[in-house]
Homo-oligomer: A and B are copies of this chain.
Amino acid sequence: MAASALCASCRQLGPCSALTEGNSSREMVSCLDLGSLSNPGFFNYGVETHEAYKKRSLSSDIIEEQKKLQEADLVIFQFPLYWFSVPAVLKGWMDRVLCQGFAFDFPGSYDDGLLKGKLAILSLTTAGTASMYSKTGVNGDFRYFLWPLQHGTLHFCGFKVLAPQISFGPEMASEEERKKMVASWAQRLKTLWEEEPIHCSPPWYFGQ
């Protein structure tokens, strides 16, 4: 069992104790995600998850999430922005659920990603204000931080991406402003299905 050095659950060298212990709630990639390893002598998480997907031996929580995705026509990711990205618990969902064979393949990425035909939208809250997330603001344009999530993850898997719903700085906003943020999202949801996806390529993110 040579997998332990890469196991985020047990994080120790030597036999991976996580493999033999019950653990029903995990958020990082781990030996626990897999059934028996196809190449225990040379552990490669990507290769092993691909194999486990084909053999249907991925852990049951991953399979359940994949089923939900498979059935969805539109996926809404709702989260608070942590360090210009998703919180770790959601990053772990992406790392674990969007595996090769299910979400992408080679060939089978970007416009040919295996989840093509589906829509996705990021709906997020920030700590900073809209002006802080502008081209001249300290945080730079909000589109800059969307690149890894919208292009590198969602587009890569074949999703068409709708323009994000960003509620800037609700923590510092007045109660009235917060209500407006919720109302505008509620209003948008009514006709979300009719929206045209963005053109997910560098000019949308970094253009003038």
Give A contacts to B, CB under 8 Å. Answer: 8-9, 11, 25, 27-29, 44, 46, 82-89, 91-92, 94-95, 98, 109-110, 127, 135, 138-140, 144-145, 147-149, 151-153, 156, 171, 202, 205-206
Instruction: Pick the residue among B9, B89, B109, B202 that contacts A8 (CB under 8 A).
Output: B89
Taking a contact as CB atoms under 8 Å apart, the answer to whether A87 and B8 are in contact is yes
Q: Tell whether, in the assembled complex, residue A88 and residue B91 are in contact, meaning their CB atoms are under 8 Å apart.
A: yes
What are 12 A-B interface contacts by the 8 Å CB criterion? A8-B27, A8-B88, A28-B89, A29-B88, A29-B89, A83-B152, A85-B148, A87-B91, A88-B95, A89-B92, A139-B152, A144-B202
Copies of this chain, count: 2
Give the docked Cα–Cα distance between A122 and B79 (Å): 26
In the bound complex, CA of A84 to CA of B144 (Å): 13
| Closest partner residue, chain B, to A92 (CB atom) | B88
- Are A95 and B87 in contact (CB-based, < 8 A)? yes
Nearest 7 A/B pairs, CB to CB: A84-B152, A84-B148, A88-B92, A88-B91, A8-B89, A28-B89, A206-B206
| Chain B residue nearest to A80 in the complex (CB) | B45
Q: Which residue of B lies closest to A152 (CB)?
A: B84
Report the separation of the CA atoms of residues A92 and B82 in the bound assembly, to the nearest whole angstrom: 10
Distance, CA A145 to CA B147, complexed state (A): 7
Q: Which residue of B lies closest to A6 (CB)?
A: B80
From B44, B109, B147, contact of A140 by CB (8 A): B147
Whether A88 and B28, one on each chain, are in contact in the complex, defined by CB atoms closer than 8 angstroms, is yes
What's the least CB distance linking A135 to chain B, in Å?
Answer: 7
Interchain CA distance A109-B127 in the complex, whole Å: 13
Task: Chain B residues near A149: list those with CB within 8 A.
Answer: 84
Q: What is the bound-complex CA distance between A8 and B138, given in angstroms?
A: 30
Q: What is the CA–CA distance of A149 and B149 in the complex, to the nearest angstrom?
A: 13
